[in-house]
Chains A and B, each alone.
Chain A
């Protein structure tokens, strides 16, 4: 298991499109966001979908994305965000230099 993330950590969603039952939506794949909170541990839906028990549980994180990081032509407010609940195995620590900016909630 990877070291847990903490609120404020900058993370990147895996840029993969595996077949099968996934709960990570296409529009955030490959994108960078910030851990807004740790949600807890839950059975893995990618396994539950096929009748397995989904164990061991996976850590679930609320990841906050800036709208302007998701859509090139976003014309709402600069502070607008999308929060998505993402399972740990889709996330990796980002080495972005936008770390201090991203920590702002």
Chain B
């Protein structure tokens, strides 16, 4: 789903923006008054374009790129790793090199893939801000950015995971990863049993964003319900 952006105001600004591409229609449903920061980003954008610091085209392409960053990309990567042992080895050795197969550019971040096993559950956080592997998962969800998650996941991960409905056996070790530097972490969830004959698409469908952050694990019932 591609959401419309603040480009609607360009209709009125042709004079100095020198903008020749087609404008997407404004979001029809949002009739609320813009808040302070919505006004700020719109004004900032206009000023930066007028001053020649950015171009309208850059913004348009940036929005398209952002729209292409979705958890489905990460799910495709996971499904391929589950079904292609050579790819999986490459992915675990050098995430950036492996996801280039999918045309994914991590933009200077080092993609580090963490493999969940029978006895290890990995879970990712950025306690200082909200660093997240956006190119493979999209924008981080509200809860990942929240103070409650950032505060609690490092000290009581099992309680937090149970709030997501994820309960772990006693013999499973939890490894929390606080991604504060240039590494971005992606969890490769454990492939559920009895999925040996599934297609890659069917497998990708059960790898949710939450599975790739590590707060949940793929559920076979999710497939059955589809």
A and B form one complex: yes
Stretch at the interface among A1-9, A38-46, A95-103: A38-46
Interface residues on B, range: 20 to 34
Q: A27-71 CB contact bits vs B (8 Å, 1 = yes)?
A: 100000000000110100100000000000000101000010011
Question: Smallest Cβ distance from A1 to chain B, in angstroms?
Answer: 18
Question: Smallest Cβ distance from B176 to chain A, in angstroms?
Answer: 5
Q: Are A83 and B176 neighbours in the complex by a CB distance under 8 Å?
A: yes
With contacts A76-B156, A80-B157 taken as known, whether A23 is within 8 angstroms of B174 at the C-beta atoms is no
* A15 CB–B CB distance under 8 Å: no
* B14 CB–A CB distance under 8 Å: no
Q: Are B176 and A81 neighbours in the complex by a CB distance under 8 Å?
A: yes
Query: With a CB–CB cut-off of 8 A, which chain B residues contact A62?
Result: 183
Q: Are A25 and B173 neighbours in the complex by a CB distance under 8 Å?
A: no
Number of A residues near B (Cβ < 8 Å) is 24
CA distance A39 to B174 in the complex (A): 21
With contacts A25-B127, A60-B182, A80-B157 taken as known, whether A40 is within 8 angstroms of B176 at the C-beta atoms is no
Q: B109-150 CB contact bits vs A (8 Å, 1 = yes)?
A: 010000000000000000110000000000000000000000
Q: Are A80 and B181 neighbours in the complex by a CB distance under 8 Å?
A: no
Query: With a CB–CB cut-off of 8 A, which chain B residues contact A39?
Result: 110, 181-183
Q: Are A45 and B174 neighbours in the complex by a CB distance under 8 Å?
A: no
* B179 CB–A CB distance under 8 Å: yes
* B7 CB–A CB distance under 8 Å: no
Q: Are B173 and A77 neighbours in the complex by a CB distance under 8 Å?
A: yes
Question: Smallest Cβ distance from A33 to chain B, in angstroms?
Answer: 12
Known: A39-B181, A85-B183. 20 other contacts (CB 8 A): A23-B181, A27-B154, A39-B110, A40-B110, A42-B182, A60-B181, A60-B182, A60-B183, A62-B183, A67-B155, A74-B155, A77-B172, A77-B174, A80-B158, A80-B173, A81-B173, A82-B178, A83-B177, A83-B178, A84-B180
